[in-house]
């Protein structure tokens, strides 16, 4: 698997077409500059685009120090969320190109955490990798003990979209993904030519593991049938951000994406009483990252909310329904094996990002 699976390559080579306009308040010349058109890597981050787009607007900027931030339809965009995830979350119906507005002045520090340079993005990525390592292994020593050269090469592989280099360096971190019985057999068939004598025997015992997941729950009160009719988001309070692990259980059965979503959001499934007791316990067990895996620069909003906060935010309702589940731009069937989803669709920091749209009927005032 030195060059990655076909699905991994699609994720790493995936791009979001952007049309970026300079905010009118920062235009000092006539005519105003045309928008910048750029293909942003799905696994990348918006601040990393600044060196590419600033030349389009530098001649028209007002005096002052650059404090770059982006917005979508009036919503300031959180820079530490990968670009592809922002696209999946904010565009119920994919918008191509995605129309963004860039600001070089007036940073909204009351909404967004500071992002001073590429280093801010890099350390946010490394801290997420530490969190993932702690969830998977119970510690993040392998991340803490990375050499500066390996750390730089790992980051450069993400910047350049170099999957082969990324796999070579990340293999040293021993963050191997656990497989269930189905995925073992599937990989055994698909990668038969690459197997060695030490590969897992499909008939052998199935391992279990904790999978780092970041869940974005978007609650929609309006009744809509077509995704293009979904209302725009104008406030981050309308999105619940849940950061917790999912436990893959073997026991001779396939663990599906439906099982994972049930474990994360059991209250939105009519048959939630049938959920395995161990899955429920895993869902209730919020992970806590020790001091070695956290940074003083990371704010509480970057580490996620608890499920109770999601419920309190108004997403829970007897008539609420999950409208769609979206991962890396895909709306997969819930019956797909979760191990395959994790192995192929996770982001480079080893988190699986899942966007969920939940339709909640509006309460009727009496």
Q: Which tens digit of pLDDT belongs to each residue from 169-200?
A: 999 998 876 666 555 565 565 555 444 434 44
Residue 138 lies in a domain: no
Residue 13 lies in a domain: yes
Q: How distant is the alpha carbon of residue 361 from its chain centre?
A: 27
SS3 178: coil
Residue 89 lies in a domain: yes
Whether the bond between 211 and the residue before it is cis, its omega within 30 degrees of 0, is no
Tens of pLDDT along the chain (366 residues)? 467 899 999 999 999 999 999 999 999 999 999 999 999 999 999 999 999 999 999 999 999 999 999 999 999 999 999 999 999 999 988 899 999 999 999 999 999 999 989 999 999 999 999 999 999 999 999 999 999 999 999 999 999 999 999 999 999 998 876 666 555 565 565 555 444 434 444 433 334 479 999 999 998 876 666 777 788 899 999 899 999 899 886 555 689 999 999 999 988 876 543 433 443 444 444 444 444 444 434 443 444 444 444 444 456 556 778 889 999 999 999 999 999 999 999 999 999 999 999 988 765 444
Q: Assess contact for 218 and 358: CB atoms under 8 A.
A: yes
d(CA 144, CA 74): 39
- pLDDT value for 267: 84
Q: Assess contact for 157 and 149: CB atoms under 8 A.
A: no
- pLDDT value for 291: 40
Strands 75-76, 69-72: pairing kind: antiparallel
Residue 77 lies in a domain: yes
Residue 110 lies in a domain: no
- Indicate the Cα dihedral angle 36, 37, 41, 45, nearest 10°: 20
- pLDDT value for 310: 47
Q: Which tens digit of pLDDT belongs to each residue from 52-75?
A: 999 999 999 999 999 999 999 999
Residue 130's contacts (CB-CB under 8 Å, 6 or more residues apart) are 140, 143, 144, 289, 292, 293, 294
If one counts the domains in the chain, the total is: 1
- pLDDT value for 271: 58
Residue 10 lies in a domain: yes
Residue 218 lies in a domain: no
Which domain does 86 fall in, by range? 6-103
Residue 45 lies in a domain: yes
Q: Assess contact for 316 and 267: CB atoms under 8 A.
A: yes
Query: According to the 3-state scheme, what is the secondary structure of 253-295?
Result: CCCEHHHHHHHHCHHHCCCHHHCCHHHHHHHHCCCCCCHHHCC
Q: Which CATH number does the domain housing residue 88 bear? A: 3.10.20.620
d(CA 244, CA 230): 27
Q: How many CB atoms lie within 10 A of CB 193?
A: 5
The token pair at 170 is 């990340």
Q: Among 91, 328, 96, which residue's Cα sits nearest to residue 218?
A: 91
């Amino acid at each position: 698997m030195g060059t990655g699976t076909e699905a991994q390559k699609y994720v790493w080579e995936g791009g979001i077409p952007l049309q970026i306009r300079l905010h009118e308040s920062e235009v000092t010349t006539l005519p105003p500059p045309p928008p910048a058109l750029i293909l942003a890597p799905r696994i990348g981050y918006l601040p990393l685009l600044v060196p590419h787009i600033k030349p389009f607007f530098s001649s028209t900027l007002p005096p002052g120090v650059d404090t770059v931030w982006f917005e979508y339809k009036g919503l300031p965009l959180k820079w530490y969320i990968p670009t592809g995830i922002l696209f999946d979350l904010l565009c119920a119906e994919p918008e191509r190109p995605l129309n963004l507005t860039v600001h070089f002045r007036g940073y909204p520090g009351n909404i967004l955490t500071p992002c001073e340079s590429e280093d801010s993005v890099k350390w946010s990525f490394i801290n997420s990798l530490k969190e993932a390592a702690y969830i998977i292994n119970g510690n993040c020593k392998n991340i803490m003990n990375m050499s500066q050269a390996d750390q730089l090469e790992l980051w450069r592989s993400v910047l350049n979209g170099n999957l082969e280099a990324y796999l070579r360096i990340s293999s040293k971190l021993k963050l191997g993904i656990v497989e269930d019985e189905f995925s073992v057999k599937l990989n055994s068939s698909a990668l038969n030519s690459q197997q060695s004598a030490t590969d897992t025997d499909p008939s052998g015992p199935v391992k279990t593991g904790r999978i780092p997941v970041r869940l974005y729950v978007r609650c929609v009160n309006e009744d809509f049938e077509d995704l293009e009719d979904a209302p725009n988001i104008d406030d981050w309070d309308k999105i619940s951000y849940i950061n917790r692990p999912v436990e893959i259980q073997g026991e001779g059965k396939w663990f599906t994406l439906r099982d994972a979503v049930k474990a994360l959001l059991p209250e939105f499934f009519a048959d939630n009483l049938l959920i395995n007791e161990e899955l429920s316990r895993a869902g209730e067990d919020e992970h806590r990252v020790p001091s070695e895996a956290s940074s003083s620069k990371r704010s509480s909003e970057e580490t996620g909310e608890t499920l109770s906060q999601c419920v309190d935010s108004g997403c829970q309702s007897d008539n609420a329904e999950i409208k769609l589940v979206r991962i890396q731009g895909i709306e997969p069937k819930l019956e797909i094996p979760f191990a395959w989803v994790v192995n192929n669709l996770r982001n480079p920091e080893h988190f699986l990002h899942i966007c969920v749209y939940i339709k909640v009927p509006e309460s009727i005032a009496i």
